[in-house]
Chains A and B, each alone.
Chain A
Amino acid sequence: EAQVTQNPRYLITVTGKKLTVTCSQNMNHEYMSWYRQDPGLGLRQIYYSMNVEVTDKGDVPEGYKVSRKEKRNFPLILESPSPNQTSLYFCASSPLPPLRNYGYTFGSGTRLTVV
């Protein structure tokens, strides 16, 4: 089944403890992206990647890192998580620039709570 898989689905962590949220897609898509979704703010892009080894900042990149060493994987790294990073996170992928091809296919989300 074609899909975007994120892990974990739920995570509770403490301030300052490094964590990684994994994302993998099996559709051979070039484009991948991370979003966070917060009440009253909607979906906001954190980082995106046009291809292997090519990443760019989105609208809210502060406090996050990403890497794209392989086409299928696009992990999101929080080096020192803080409570304001408590949110619902979505990974997404697209075969072409999203604005030319139906936007993104989204994963099921990761609910992160930082205490």
Chain B
Amino acid sequence: GESVGLHLPTLSVQEGDNSIINCAYSNSASDYFIWYKQESGKGPQFIIDIRSNMDKRQGQRVTVLLNKTVKHLSLQIAATQPGDSAVYLCAEGLRGGGGADGLTFGKGTHLIIQP
């Protein structure tokens, strides 16, 4: 498969444990945030999003937390499974900002699941 990040932060967790992946975003004006999952050899896939008027949003086995005070975003994955092994990318944007497209991606975190 593809190696998409030779210098990525790595998080190693035991199968069945909860995972918390963190992201520090750069623009205090950003009002929309997305988490993507990128498996080896594939393009990023949408996981969950959150708008700046929310602090928390839950999906299936995933929760995103937003702390605007410290510009911090986190993705919590419950009961981690082997299929969760991937690189996780956070993205931020400012809706209505200059231009029609203003999504900025973080460098990603590599999640490794230990059996």
Contacts and interface: CB of A to CB of B under 8 A. Distances in A.
By secondary structure, the B interface counts as loop
Contacts of B49: 102-103
Contacts, number: 83
A62 interface: no
A33 B105 CA distance: 14
Contact of B34 (A39, A58, A102): A102
Contact of B89 (A42, A99, A109): A42
Contacts of A107: 43
Interface string B31-62: 01010100001111110010000000000000
Contact of A99 (B6, B7, B102, B107): B102
B16 interface: no
User: How many A residues touch the partner, as a band?
Assistant: 20 to 34
Contacts of B8: 39
By secondary structure, the A interface counts as strand
Contacts of B91: 103
A106 B41 CA distance: 12
Interface of B: 2-8, 32, 34, 36, 41-46, 49, 89, 91, 93-97, 99-103, 105-108
Given A99-B32, A103-B91, A109-B43, 7 more contacts: A35-B105, A39-B7, A56-B101, A90-B44, A106-B43, A107-B43, A108-B41
